[in-house]
Chain A
Amino acid sequence: MAIDTGILINVGFYVSFSIVFAILALGFNLQWGYTGIFNAGIAGFFLIGAYTAAIAITPPTPPSPGYPGHLGGYQLPIAAGAILAMLVSGLTAIAIALPTLRLRADYLAIATLAFAEVVRTVAINLEPVTAGTIGIIGIPRLFTFSGTNSALFTTGTVVGVGAVIILVLFVVLHFIVESPWGRVLRAVREDEEATMAVGKNTFWFKLQVFAIGGALMGLAGWFFVMALPYLEPAGDFAPAVTFSIWVMVIVGGAGNLKGSIAGAFLVYGLEWSSVQLKDLAPDALSPSIPYIRLMIVGALLIVLIIYRPEGILREKKRVLR
């Protein structure tokens, strides 16, 4: 039976990257949608996770003509890469949170945005560690296949593992946000001062959430290098990534976990389909398609904010017995 594996692989890429964005969106939703912490440095935590994972698991890549080499060669198991990515991004989040989390929302946004840009600039320029703009190559795959359709199987395993991760994250996050702990987060979002005045150490709750969100963004970085075997810092971690995640969470519905997943698949779906269209469109139109996509996303956002500001899947009211 002849299947056009090209199309399947292409769809597999769409699902894989949607999962990357969904993990980022879940992390940001926990921080902003549930707790009201406006993190503008999503791309920075994402980058740190991706590089940590890549450096931990990649075999030695000595410098050669045309390739500068990078820190690493540790060849740790892929799962260890995931744990390290979460750990390093989570600890970075704590380090960023300690001086900045007391800031008002707008100042926090400026500080975190600057953090992400500093991280990206360092990744571009710190060649001995990151291989600079050339990036890290030869990152191991989750499973290695050979023979015909090996590319399809590789993509399929990425999708499968990603689906399990999303499912586990959804179950665990749902459990914790619907607990009394999660109730305090929503209280902080509504009115931090009033939450303090009923006896909650709000800074402690914000710190926990910022760290967990940061760790999730690190996990997204690890999954990103599972979906794509090379890493380059300039484009994949630009501020536009952070802005996309905001759009995904707003469109999907802040304070709703399913909303983050749906928002990621929907908004990235627009990007992915615009790329497909670009190939099909007449030459004269083709260069405009990315801009048309941005216009559609912008228009979608405006319409949504006017007519359904709570997002497609709104936050549920918790009716208690």
Chain B
Amino acid sequence: MNATAGAPPILSVQRVRKSFGGIRAVDDCSLSINAQSITGLIGPNGAGKSTLFNIIAGLYRPDAGAIWLAGRRIDGLPPYEIVHRGLTKTWQIPHELRNLTVLENLLLGAKRNSGEHLLNVLLLSGAVRSDEKQWRARAREVLRLTELDGLANEHAKALSGGQKKLLELARALMTDPAIVLLDEPVAGVNPRLAGNLMDLIERLRQGGRTFFLIEHDMNVVMNRCDRVIVMHQGHAIAEGTPASVKANPLVIESYLGG
């Protein structure tokens, strides 16, 4: 049990449904995430985990159901609006902006950057410059945090697979999220870097952020998550502490294997 148990969940998914053609990718899925937790989402391939993440982040519109972020409904809102309310996601396959530099990738995460409004660019160049300067300083901080500072002015496409994973996280952090959905953050990342990345996530959690992550690496799930939710055939079939989930017969049958 963590300290925030009993407090209202930061994220709550209620009876969400999504079909693609004849396939029910997410089927009557309900779950909730405690604030300041690291919650793992596991389940076999095709269970609907990534689809659920895309629905929560607003990239897909659910066919039915409701999603609440910090007490406000967010289902049906466009993705950028959901980011502004404090939720962002990363991808399993990194969506780095290839021909932009690492630093530029991060700067795009800046919220309320006055220079992103054309009229400000043309009329308020002083304010735009000072805003940009502050965001650059912030981006440099996040780059140090994610150990990408040496690569700031490299094109994102030049990064290794593991570095791109870090870039995804760094760019997400620039939006100052209350909760981050991470789709397989350590898949394809070498063990040392994966360890550092999870240490960083732990530190950020202690700083007040919430993480909800899809992961197949059982070492990460069992040792780093406070809670684990298991998805199978589009809905959540079990949840609890890593130890209790590991011992759940339903989970063993559908995912972990005998």
Contact residues of A with B, CB < 8 Å? 175-176, 179-181, 183-184, 186-187, 190-191, 193-202, 208, 315, 317-321
Mask: chain B, 175-201; 1 = CB below 8 Å from A; 0 = not: 100000000000000000000000000
* In the complex, chain A residues whose CB is within 8 Å of the CB of B172: 198
Please name all residues of chain B whose beta carbon is closer than 8 Å to the beta carbon of A186 when the two chains form the complex: 97, 99-100, 104
Nearest Cβ on chain A to B135's Cβ, whole angstroms: 8
Interface residues of B (CB under 8 A from A): 57-59, 78-80, 83-84, 88-89, 91, 95-101, 103-104, 107-111, 113, 115-118, 121-122, 128, 131-132, 136, 152-153, 155, 171-172, 174-175
Closest to A175 in B: B121
A50 to B5, CA, bound (A): 68
A175 CA to B123 CA in the complex, in Å? Answer: 12
Residues of A within 8 A of B95 (CB): 191, 193-194, 197
Residues of B within 8 A of A183 (CB): 100, 104, 107-108, 116
Q: Smallest CB-CB separation from A194: which chain B residue?
A: B95
Q: Contacting A180 at CB < 8 Å: which of B57, B84, B113, B153? A: B113
In the complex, the 10 A-B pairs of residues with the closest C-beta atoms, listed nearest first: A180-B115, A199-B83, A194-B95, A190-B97, A196-B79, A179-B121, A319-B153, A198-B109, A199-B80, A180-B116
Say whether B104 contacts A320, CB under 8 Å: yes
Cβ-closest chain B residue relative to A205:
B116
Contact indicator A176/B97 (Cβ below 8 Å): no
Task: Give chain A residues whose Cβ lies under 8 Å from the Cβ of B136.
Answer: 320-321
Quick check: A190 and B109 within 8 Å, CB to CB? no
Nearest opposing residue in chain A for B107, CB measure: A183
Measured in the bound complex, the distance between the Cα atoms of B97 and A195 in whole Å is 9
Question: Is there an interface contact between A198 and B78, defined as CB atoms closer than 8 Å?
Answer: no
Question: Can you name the residue of chain A whose Cβ is closest to the Cβ of B90?
Answer: A197
5 contacts between A and B (CB under 8 A): A179-B128, A187-B97, A197-B83, A197-B89, A199-B109
Q: Answer whether A320 and B101 are a contact pair too, CB < 8 Å, given A180-B121, A198-B175, A199-B109.
A: yes
With a CB–CB cut-off of 8 A, which chain B residues contact A321? 136
Residues of A contacting B132 with CB < 8 Å? 180
Given contacts A198-B108, A320-B136, contact A184 B101 (CB under 8 A): no
Interface pair B100/A181, CB less than 8 Å apart: no
> Within the assembled complex, what's the spacing in Å between the Cα atoms of A196 and B91?
13
Q: A318, B128: Cβ atoms under 8 Å? A: no
- Give A271 Cβ to nearest chain B Cβ, in Å: 31
Complex Cα distance A305/B131, Å? 39
Cα–Cα distance between A186 and B153 once the two chains are bound (Å)? 16
Partner of B155, one of A180, A196, A197, A317: A317
The minimal Cβ–Cβ distance linking A310 to chain B, given in whole angstroms, is 10
Chain B residues with Cβ below 8 Å from A196 are: 58-59, 78-80
Partner of B88, one of A176, A187, A195, A199: A199
In the complex, are the beta carbons of B79 and A197 less than 8 A apart?
yes
Considering the complex, give the chain A residue whose CB is closest to the CB of B59.
Answer: A193
Residues on B with beta carbons closer than 8 Å to the beta carbon of A319: 101, 153
| A321: min CB distance to chain B, Å | 7
Q: Distance (Å) between the CB of B184 and the closest chain A CB?
A: 16
Chain B residues with CB under 8 A of A191: 95-98
Q: Are B121 and A315 in contact (CB under 8 A)?
A: no
Closest CB in chain A relative to B126 CB, distance in Å: 13
Given known pairs A181-B121, A196-B78, the reply for A187 and B101 (CB within 8 Å) is no
Query: How distant is the Cα of A201 from the Cα of B80 in the complex, in angstroms?
Result: 6
**Separation in Å of the B237 CB from the closest CB of chain A?**
28
Closest to A191 in B: B95
Q: How far is the CB of A281 from chain B (nearest CB, A)?
A: 44
Instruction: Please report the C-alpha to C-alpha distance between residue A201 and residue B59 in the assembled complex, in whole angstroms.
Output: 12
Question: A194 to B91, alpha carbons, bound, how many Å?
Answer: 9
Q: In the complex, what residues of B have CB within 8 A of residue A199's CB?
A: 79-80, 83-84, 88, 109, 111, 175
